[in-house]
A and B are shown apart, each in its own frame.
Chain A
């Protein structure tokens, strides 16, 4: 087995984490150059399968958020192909973007809950967008809130909740429509270590039911404790891809 440190030298088709039949997230020689000539990502290739959880880590400015933004189609790659649930994102027409985004659950560092409505109404949004009937919505929202341990908070406004609780509501909203992929950008950035572990534990649960989970984080302590696959970026290059088994 090659050491993780030089895995990125292996061309993508031979790469151990190259796309397989079950790859739900795929990056194939992806580069991103922002306006102003800033090279945020260079030739990044890796894939994440259904039921797999991976961390993306690296120093500040390494390109973690950029990687997730490409998946969410907030940014477009300058080169290479990003695949989501079998769909090549560079061929997606603007009108199709909403439909593809619905395959993606997103968790944000600042939770991005809508403050003018209840916890229930926030979690309900993806189901409304999907056109689910009110009766089904109620059932599924409660199931999602139960999963994150906040069923009794459904009528509260987000502002009445603690930071950790708000983040859990954000997670409930991300998973309520059962997306194939769950991505999170620094989801525990504002939380104390105990809460951070709880949140990560939740992500692991969704992994266990078959969701592909990709979490950007620079919290190495936390990543080590989670014992999941780790993709390391350095100045926009993938410099290591450590399988879960080898995380120490």
Chain B
């Protein structure tokens, strides 16, 4: 009986003899296919894709916008704080010599860039320029204003340095009181520090939200394709092969969302540039509106693609295992 059943060789499957280049070829084919099929599937569900991209894009655009605003407040603070001086009012009755002595004592300090001694007459002239005061000033018999030392600190000093300078000014003989007109700058810096921290935290939270949005979209997608996954596994697909198109889908969604976020941020930037520029000009002509840096705009889509990939990774292995078991 065995004789009548002529033994024949099974056909040599074309894929069994696999040399290294062949393996690399297969790897490349798998990726090329996964990349294109994932794109086509996203295109086949335009509304769902659009919604996911929109939600994720807006989530990423928010921290970008806050970053933009914060950056501009910082710029304005820098520009406005540039010419802030600290004034030391001499005790009444002090003469020019005493003021000069106090000034030269302070000039030696490392924090000081320049000191201008303003006489009571300078002060009076300044006041006279302010409308409405001139009449009142003319009725005075003597000049009631003290000598004032206008101290210009070196640029880039920390709040502690300024504090030390103010203390030493207060301790200088003949000085009555010290007024730090630049103190708002320190408070602004502190506020900006809080703001930066808040924006970083917000970016982190919204980044996680974006990741979860993609993860959920991919999860639902895998769920709806459990029959297909079962067939693929039965005809010899490996789990990584089955998973790959979903990872690519995550990457595409993330990338598109990143592009949308950048587009939104740029639109906001253009909308804000005018009003902020005018506001800045009203304070000091040297202040201008600062946009988001190019490196940031260029890197957002890629960072967002990584987020999408992570989101897809997070859910796909588990979800495919479930689909395979079903």
Contact = CB atoms under 8 A, between A and B. Distances in A.
Nearest to B15: A130
A51 B6 contact: yes
Contacts of A186: none
B236 A178 contact: no
Interface stretch (B23-31, B62-70, B181-189, B271-279): B23-31
B2 interface: yes
A128 interface: yes
A50 B22 CA distance: 27
Interface in A39-61: 49-52
A129 B236 contact: yes
A131 B10 contact: no
A210 B8 contact: yes
A244 B6 CA distance: 12
B17 interface: no
A132 B236 contact: no
Interface in B236-283: 236-239, 241
Nearest to A23: B7
A126 B13 CA distance: 12
A128 B29 contact: yes
Nearest to B41: A116
B235 A129 contact: yes
B4 A180 contact: no
Contacts of A106: 234-235
Contacts of B241: 98, 129
Q: Which one of B8, B25, B33, B237 has the highest number of Cβ atoms from chain A below 10 Å of its Cβ?
A: B8
Given A1-B1, A129-B236, A178 B11 contact: yes
B236 A16 contact: no
Contact of B10 (A16, A85, A99, A244): A85
B237 to A, nearest CB: 5
A235 interface: no
Contacts of A211: 10-11
Interface stretch (B124-132, B225-233, B291-299): B225-233
A102 B12 CA distance: 13
Interface string B11-53: 1111100000011011101100100000000001000000000
B9 A177 contact: no
B24 to A, nearest CB: 9
Given A101-B234, A129-B232, A173-B235, 12 more contacts: A51-B5, A98-B239, A103-B13, A104-B236, A106-B235, A128-B33, A129-B237, A131-B26, A132-B26, A181-B10, A210-B10, A244-B5
Interface of A: 1, 16, 20-22, 24, 49-52, 72, 74, 85, 95, 98-99, 101-104, 106, 112, 114, 116, 125-126, 128-134, 173-174, 177-181, 209-212, 243-245
Interface of B: 1-2, 4-15, 22-23, 25-27, 29-30, 33, 44, 227-228, 231-239, 241
